Amino acid sequence: MKTAAVIMAGGKGERFWPRSRQKFPKQFLSLTGDGKSMIRLTAERHLSMMDFEDMFVVTNRDYVPLVREQLPEIPPENILAEPKARNTAPCIGFAAAVIQKKYEDAVMLVLASDHLIKNTTLYLDTLSLAVDVAEDGQNLVTIGITPTYPETGYGYIHFGRDEQSGERRGVYTVKRFVEKPDLETAKEYLNSGEYLWNSGMFVWKASTVLQKFCELMPDTYAGLMNIQKAWGEPSQDTVLERNYAAFKAESVDYGIMERATHIHTIPGNFGWDDVGSWLALAHINRTNELGNVVQGDVITIGTRDSIIEGGKKLIAAVGLTDMIIVDTDDALLVCHRDSAGDIKKVLENLKICNRSELL
Amino acid sequence: MKTAAVIMAGGKGERFWPRSRQKFPKQFLSLTGDGKSMIRLTAERHLSMMDFEDMFVVTNRDYVPLVREQLPEIPPENILAEPKARNTAPCIGFAAAVIQKKYEDAVMLVLASDHLIKNTTLYLDTLSLAVDVAEDGQNLVTIGITPTYPETGYGYIHFGRDEQSGERRGVYTVKRFVEKPDLETAKEYLNSGEYLWNSGMFVWKASTVLQKFCELMPDTYAGLMNIQKAWGEPSQDTVLERNYAAFKAESVDYGIMERATHIHTIPGNFGWDDVGSWLALAHINRTNELGNVVQGDVITIGTRDSIIEGGKKLIAAVGLTDMIIVDTDDALLVCHRDSAGDIKKVLENLKICNRSELL
């Protein structure tokens, strides 16, 4: 059976402001120092499994030109522009409906466009196993990540072995999805060995997930079928627009995964990072001997454990510890590491002041 | 007797980098938020005592166009361009020689171009008393500043009353000039009540100070007399060049004041500030309720006790304490307050790397 990748690229990524902007979010930035954007790296990672022709990108209409520019090899009709953001369930359902129409059926790899994976070999082996499990029957597979520390910013998957199902080696049953825990609970999860991080990557057949929509989100399913029927016809855009506007915004985790049966997880251990904030640069890039991650024209004097992203001018960093400095043409961020979560307050301030050109 | 002001404006002011540059040092910057440069404020402060015609500026050749631009009212022949920097003794001697030639004699107010004085009335009263003392005879007067805290960055003046000299009220004898003390010593000076800060402002007759040069720096005196003789003649520039090159670089404190007799001091208490570093902005400008001094397009979130000088772009300061941020077109400084002294290391680095355009 054909395997297709669905790269979800509608996110706004405010936490990388001022480099990320509403018009240029994180997935289109190069953050790894190799000049390639996150979405480009995501697509290229799967080239040993499939051609660009079998990759799909679901994104906001405004980002279609960026996707075309950064991934010109993907056929334009595979770039699926959502008329409105409706969270991940409609997004994935939309892709499944289009894929089913194109291929009759296919295994879908549902992928984030802005995550980083360090070990591609282990990653592809994990996906390959997931594809086998998905092809087998009515299975939904979620890729879990073996936790390495008690992160409180992720959801977790409680997993176990279902002795009756004769599962394959490396494949486990999902007992329960759990929301972001507090630190104490996160520590318990980590120590128990029974929990994985929920990476938000899924593998299933288009037909399987559409069947789940039919059972669990029947209104959305009806809309998806309308879209599927009109896809490729003159009415395509108006039907898409009308049905999308009526979709309830819902995450696939809440709408499908937490309520469905036959949910399996495969623990991945391939150096996954969701690159959730500027702080991530300190673990995805090489730091120098003082713990700094420095890019651009930067002089550091007595400065350590800091992230400095230069723009077009010299930056002199003197006597700094634990700082984030990001210089761009029209905005400069200087932020203490412990306050990285407050960058969104800057954006709120800009919104209130009608300074949308800086958002 | 005529009173003339001599404004010394040869300093490089590296501590205000990146706003100050070798080609645009601190005395030409506006740091007080009123748009007027330090040197312009210095000149205007004396307008109730004299006209611009009686003001002289001694400066580096490169800065002559800046002086003319910022002080167009001062006659061009009163802008004295030193062919080489030779510290303050030759600088003051040069001005004294020119003034003596122009006026036969005059009381000279020797002033820094980059200091700030908050209370002009008290300042002018202090100068007026100093002029009286200088006119009286062979007196050299130095303006001392009543210390308000144990500063270790200034020289001090040990003063007292000479019962035999019948001094005027408010005028004291200098017992000794002392170098920059350590903190312990500075505290002793402060508590003793017998010490003043050495402000580097002097009042004396041109004839008196030239007589001291004759006694204490005879080689320099001979050169000054050569310059004086040629001044206004066709040979002026070549004579100036030749004699200046031979001058020994010497401060007036070391070359004259510490070795001369008849040294008097008048304690000033007029809100003097030498604006020695970016930190000074926090006490010369109004801070907001969080202790920040902010100029330009700046959003602060959870930021206090910081100095932020914006350039042309938005600066977002998030979670900062005790920081100095200065943005200019070609260089950005981000510096912890406690490391302000290390800004010069940035300049050393730029010199080593032959990046003189940024100095």
The contacts of residue B113 (CB under 8 Å, 6+ apart) are B7, B8, B9, B11, B27, B38, B39, B42, B57
Mean pLDDT value of segment A258-270? 92
pLDDT for A167 equals 66
d(CA B151, CA B198): 11
Residue A13 pLDDT exceeds 90: no
How much is the ipTM here?
0.84
Residue B145 pLDDT exceeds 90: yes
Residues of A in contact with B336 (CB under 8 A): 318-321
The contacts of residue A20 (CB under 8 Å, 6+ apart) are A12, A13, A14, A26, A29
- Residue B337 — φ and ψ, nearest 5°? -50, -40
Residue B334: which of A320, A349, A350 has the nearest Cβ? A320
Residue B342: which of A318, A321, A345 has the nearest Cβ? A318
Q: Would an 8 Å CB–CB cutoff place A183 in contact with chain B?
A: no
Supply the pTM of this predicted model: 0.86
Top-confidence residue, A137 or A24? A24
**Taking CB atoms and an 8 Å limit, are A335 and B318 in contact across chains?**
yes
* CA closest to B315 among chain A residues: A332
pLDDT for A163 equals 64
Q: Would an 8 Å CB–CB cutoff place A165 in contact with chain B?
A: no
Interface test with A, best of B294, B307, B332 (most A CBs within 10 A): B332
d(CA B224, CA B246): 11
Q: Which residues of B147-157 are buried (b: 16+ CB within 10 A; e: fewer)?
A: beebbeebbbb
Residue pLDDT, tens place only, A290-321 = 999 999 999 999 999 999 999 889 999 999 99
**Taking CB atoms and an 8 Å limit, are A345 and B314 in contact across chains?**
no
Nearest chain B Cα distance for residue A344, angstroms:
10
Residues of A in contact with B316 (CB under 8 A): 18, 331-335, 343, 346
% of chain B with per-residue pLDDT over 70: 98
* CA closest to B335 among chain A residues: A318
* CA closest to B328 among chain A residues: A313
**Taking CB atoms and an 8 Å limit, are A335 and B323 in contact across chains?**
no
Contact B332, B318 (CB under 8 A): no
> Using 50, 70 and 90 to split pLDDT, how confident is the model at A6?
very high
Mean pLDDT value of segment B213-229? 98
Q: Would an 8 Å CB–CB cutoff place B329 in contact with chain A?
A: yes
How many Å from the N-terminal Cα to the C-terminal Cα in chain B? 43
Lowest mean pLDDT among A234-243, A348-357, B155-164, B171-180: B155-164
Partners of residue B198 on adjacent β-strands: B144
Mean pLDDT value of segment B232-258? 96
> Using 50, 70 and 90 to split pLDDT, how confident is the model at A141?
very high
Residue A234 pLDDT exceeds 90: yes
Residue B198 pLDDT exceeds 90: yes
> Using 50, 70 and 90 to split pLDDT, how confident is the model at A46?
very high
Residue A73 pLDDT exceeds 90: yes
Mean pLDDT value of segment A127-147? 94
Top-confidence residue, B184 or A261? B184
Nearest chain B Cα distance for residue A307, angstroms:
12
> Using 50, 70 and 90 to split pLDDT, how confident is the model at A35?
confident
Residue B149 pLDDT exceeds 70: yes
Mean pLDDT value of segment B258-275? 92
Q: Would an 8 Å CB–CB cutoff place B307 in contact with chain A?
A: no
pLDDT for B33 equals 76
* Percent of chain A that is helix, strand, coil (3-state, to 5): 40, 25, 35
pLDDT for A315 equals 97
Partners of residue A201 on adjacent β-strands: A143
Nearest chain B Cα distance for residue A280, angstroms:
18
Residues of A in contact with B302 (CB under 8 A): 339, 342
Residues of B in contact with A299 (CB under 8 A): 346, 349-350
Mean pLDDT value of segment A339-343? 93
Nearest chain B Cα distance for residue A77, angstroms:
39
Residue B330: which of A314, A331, A349 has the nearest Cβ? A314
Q: Would an 8 Å CB–CB cutoff place B309 in contact with chain A?
A: no
pLDDT for B161 equals 83
Residues of B in contact with A318 (CB under 8 A): 333-336, 339-340, 342-343, 345-346
Residue pLDDT, tens place only, B273-322 = 999 889 888 878 878 889 999 999 999 999 999 999 998 899 999 999 99
pLDDT for B282 equals 84
Q: Would an 8 Å CB–CB cutoff place A160 in contact with chain B?
A: no
Please give the structure tokens belonging to residue A291. Answer: 């713990």
Residue A327, CA distances (Å) to A155, A312, A332, B67, B134 in order: 32, 8, 4, 34, 55
**What type of residue is B27?**
Q
Interface test with B, best of A314, A323, A351 (most B CBs within 10 A): A314
d(CA A32, CA A19): 14
Residue B224 pLDDT exceeds 70: yes
Residue A319: which of B319, B336, B350 has the nearest Cβ? B336
Average pLDDT, chain A: 94
**Taking CB atoms and an 8 Å limit, are B18 and A339 in contact across chains?**
no
Residue A204 pLDDT exceeds 90: yes
Residues of B in contact with A339 (CB under 8 A): 301-302, 318-319
Residues of A in contact with B327 (CB under 8 A): 332
Instruction: Cite the DSSP H helix spans in chain A.
Output: 38-44, 64-70, 88-103, 120-136, 183-192, 206-216, 218-230, 236-246, 252, 281-284, 343-352
pLDDT for B335 equals 97
Comparing CA positions, the residue from A50, A105, A59 lying closest to residue A78 is A59
Residue pLDDT, tens place only, A276-294 = 889 888 878 878 889 999 9
pLDDT for A281 equals 87
pLDDT for A276 equals 86
Mean pLDDT value of segment B236-240? 97
**What type of residue is A264?**
H
Q: Would an 8 Å CB–CB cutoff place A314 in contact with chain B?
A: yes
Residues of A in contact with B333 (CB under 8 A): 316, 318
* Percent of chain B that is helix, strand, coil (3-state, to 5): 40, 25, 35
Residue A164 pLDDT exceeds 80: no
Contact B327, A346 (CB under 8 A): no
* CA closest to A317 among chain B residues: B334
Q: Would an 8 Å CB–CB cutoff place B25 in contact with chain A?
A: no
% of chain A with per-residue pLDDT over 70: 98
- Residue B332 — φ and ψ, nearest 5°? -125, 130
Nearest chain B Cα distance for residue A282, angstroms:
19
pLDDT for A40 equals 98
Interface test with A, best of B14, B294, B295, B299 (most A CBs within 10 A): B299
Residue B354 pLDDT exceeds 80: yes
Q: Would an 8 Å CB–CB cutoff place B325 in contact with chain A?
A: yes
Residues of B in contact with A321 (CB under 8 A): 336
Comparing CA positions, the residue from B62, B53, B56, B103 lying closest to residue B82 is B62
pLDDT for B163 equals 65
The contacts of residue B24 (CB under 8 Å, 6+ apart) are B66
Average pLDDT, chain B: 94
Q: Would an 8 Å CB–CB cutoff place B352 in contact with chain A?
A: no
Lowest mean pLDDT among A65-74, A313-322, B163-172, B339-348: B163-172
How many Å from the N-terminal Cα to the C-terminal Cα in chain A? 43
pLDDT for A217 equals 97
> Using 50, 70 and 90 to split pLDDT, how confident is the model at B175?
very high
d(CA B8, CA B24): 15
d(CA B132, CA A187): 80
Mean pLDDT value of segment A15-42? 92
pLDDT for A83 equals 95
